[in-house]
Chains A and B, each alone.
Chain A
Amino acid sequence: MKIVVLVKHVPDAAADRKFDEADYTTDRVSVDSILSELDEYAVEEALKISDAGDAEVIAVTMGPEQAQDAIKRALQMGADSGVHVLDEALHGSDALATSQVLAAAIEKVGEVDLVFTGMASTDGGMSVVPAMLAERLQLAHVGFVGELTLDGGTVRARRDADVTETVEAALPAIVSVTDQINEPRYPSFKGIMAAKKKPVQTWSLADLGIDAGSVGLSAAWSVVASVTARPPRTQGEVVTDEGDGGAKLAAYLADQKFI
């Protein structure tokens, strides 16, 4: 069984995230970055399957040079190999272009049974790439999965969307997981050492047969017209409870016409 896990390298949410001044793209260079936390759950779910049986786990990413750190982390956790799609032309790609590139990469990996992704990246947070991939690859997609069982060639999943649903899909399929599904492992010392010897391939757009003109900022199907930093919320009145905190709270709400 062959499993691809899509991982993304993102600006650390705890750091000061910002936009590139010149072209309004997310600043992915000068800000501390990490493997998107939400992707660790995807890596873990793939590893659980490979721990229990016979599966090859391949971590795939697309992004600038530093994005290899996301692959490295997946390899340290236990993935078998990595693929890094790296090309200057990719800068500023929108979700549509991203899904085009990742779909081509999954096809090039070949004979993939399962694709795991996180429920959203912690930066763009659109949650649309997995469904776009499914549409391009003509595969089933089950998103927001909080529990998964694999039974032969069928996945059975608990989907925690607006209501909770139980969904079945035949493989091959794309599954996006939430933080409810498992507890991601920390890389062990052995895992960190082993990762150094694991193969990582770097593919360019040409390797994937994609025209550089169809991706990147200039090919995006939407444009950002303006970006305004919101003044930080100014802190309002804070009172210390001296036996009348609740009454003061009620008075404030009445004042603001919430009562």
Chain B
Amino acid sequence: MAEILVLVDHADGAVRKTTTELLTIARRLGEPSAVFIGSGYDAARDTLAQFGAAKVYVAENPELVDHLVAPQAEVLAQVAATAQPAAILLASNPDGKEIAARLAIKLESGLITDAVDVVAADAGITTTQSVFAGGYTVTARVTHGTPIVTVKPNAATPEPAQSTPVEEKVAVSISDTAKRARIVERAARGESGRPELTEAAIVVSGGRGTGGDFGPVEALADALGAAVGASRAAVDSGWYPHAHQVGQTGKTVSPQLYVAAGISGAIQHRAGMQTSKTVVVVNKDAEAPIFSMADFGVVGDLHTVLPQATEEITKRKA
């Protein structure tokens, strides 16, 4: 069976959930090989085996961590040249997309981004995308070279399948051109104790309607084990960090449940959450456009509705 390369998305070896989703998808397409680039492989080993990697290519080198993505694209191209995979899967996040873009040029291969599903069809590996703010569903195939696909978070439910991967060390040689953009400082990931926004199964977001008090939004999020999101209006007002912005110029989320509180539903906001499975809205204006996409909505003041919901949920869980 042909190899399917999966680029491991990790922070110092802590494997992110999207990678376990990619490995699950890769198992349906062929034989999954994980490509680990960076440092901290020891911490990643068990997770990659648990989700069925048949092989792991390991490229550990500090120069890979000190520069923006170009060196990673070189390593991945190097691995692809020998492995001759049937497809290469990466996470649809900023780094993943930039690596995929460079790889497409290096391998002279077609690229599909932001897939919400990837299947093996008679005609070849076929992707599904949701475009124009979710208004259309598009299926597509790569017709030239090795299909390179970036996949959105929550495209699959990670299914464990224990394996004993063969480990292959990759000798890393990085060109000078790839070292042109140097990372001089990296902020730590924010530690809120909540799930990561793009990976979370439930997201509770607040907008201008919070009036600056995210307390009720955070409390509901915690009762549901959810991540917290924000509209740009809330971020621009300085009420919540930009890293939590959902939308066209923020994060794209695709959770099982999205709760929008005090958010009107501008197209730029919808672009970031339109593929959510279930949408719940709390807004005091019955005419707010966001209601048109609500599976359930409450017309009311979020400052009373959210705390009551939180209390009720806590009671039900007890």
Majority secondary structure of chain A interface residues (helix, strand, loop or mixed) = mixed
Are A258 and B202 in contact (CB-based, < 8 A)?
Answer: yes
Are B309 and A256 in contact (CB-based, < 8 A)?
Answer: no
Are A241 and B305 in contact (CB-based, < 8 A)?
Answer: yes
In the docked arrangement, what's the CA distance between A259 and B314, Å?
9
In the docked arrangement, what's the CA distance between A178 and B243, Å?
13
Q: List 23 A-B contacts (CB under 8 A).
A: A13-B271, A19-B136, A96-B104, A123-B132, A125-B114, A129-B101, A142-B68, A163-B186, A167-B181, A168-B184, A224-B138, A228-B137, A230-B136, A233-B292, A236-B294, A236-B297, A238-B291, A241-B305, A253-B257, A253-B313, A254-B313, A258-B202, A258-B278
Are B249 and A178 in contact (CB-based, < 8 A)?
Answer: yes
Residues of A near B307 (CB, < 8 A) are: 246
How many A-B residue contacts, CB cutoff 8 Å? 262
Residues of B near A111 (CB, < 8 A) are: none
In the docked arrangement, what's the CA distance between A154 and B37, Å?
27
Is A162 interfacial (CB 8 A cutoff)?
A: yes
Residues of A near B171 (CB, < 8 A) are: none
Measured CB to CB, the closest approach of chain A to B101, in angstroms, equals 4
Is B306 interfacial (CB 8 A cutoff)?
A: yes
Option from A123, A142, A226, A246 in Cβ contact (under 8 Å) with B312 = A246
Option from B68, B135, B280, B311 in Cβ contact (under 8 Å) with A17 = B135
Is B111 interfacial (CB 8 A cutoff)?
A: yes
In the docked arrangement, what's the CA distance between A246 and B295, Å?
15
Are A236 and B295 in contact (CB-based, < 8 A)?
Answer: yes
Are A126 and B97 in contact (CB-based, < 8 A)?
Answer: yes
Is A138 interfacial (CB 8 A cutoff)?
A: yes
Is A38 interfacial (CB 8 A cutoff)?
A: yes
Residues of A near B102 (CB, < 8 A) are: 131-132, 134-135
In the docked arrangement, what's the CA distance between A161 and B189, Å?
11
In the docked arrangement, what's the CA distance between A209 and B183, Å?
36
Measured CB to CB, the closest approach of chain A to B247, in angstroms, equals 10
Are A222 and B181 in contact (CB-based, < 8 A)?
Answer: no
Is B1 interfacial (CB 8 A cutoff)?
A: no
Residues of B near A238 (CB, < 8 A) are: 281, 286, 291, 294, 296-299
Is A93 interfacial (CB 8 A cutoff)?
A: no
Q: Which residue of chain B lies nearest to A246 when distances are taken between CB atoms in the complex?
A: B308
Interface residues of A in 164-207 (CB under 8 A from B): 164-170, 173, 178-180
Option from B95, B296, B299 in Cβ contact (under 8 Å) with A161 = B95
Measured CB to CB, the closest approach of chain B to A25, in angstroms, equals 12
Known contacts A222-B142, A229-B136, then 19 further A-B pairs from the complex at CB < 8 Å, ordered by chain A residue:
A13-B268, A14-B267, A94-B110, A95-B104, A96-B104, A119-B249, A166-B183, A167-B182, A169-B182, A222-B140, A223-B140, A230-B137, A235-B292, A237-B296, A238-B291, A245-B282, A246-B304, A246-B305, A259-B224
Are A161 and B93 in contact (CB-based, < 8 A)?
Answer: yes
Is B126 interfacial (CB 8 A cutoff)?
A: yes
Option from A122, A131, A227 in Cβ contact (under 8 Å) with B98 = A131
Q: Which residue of chain B lies nearest to A41 when distances are taken between CB atoms in the complex?
A: B249
In the docked arrangement, what's the CA distance between A168 and B185, Å?
10
In the docked arrangement, what's the CA distance between A56 and B140, Å?
41
In the docked arrangement, what's the CA distance between A86 and B70, Å?
31
Measured CB to CB, the closest approach of chain B to A149, in angstroms, equals 12
In the docked arrangement, what's the CA distance between A122 and B296, Å?
29
Is B246 interfacial (CB 8 A cutoff)?
A: no
Q: Which residue of chain B lies nearest to A258 when distances are taken between CB atoms in the complex?
A: B257
Interface residues of A in 87-138 (CB under 8 A from B): 94-96, 99, 119-120, 122-123, 125-132, 134-136, 138
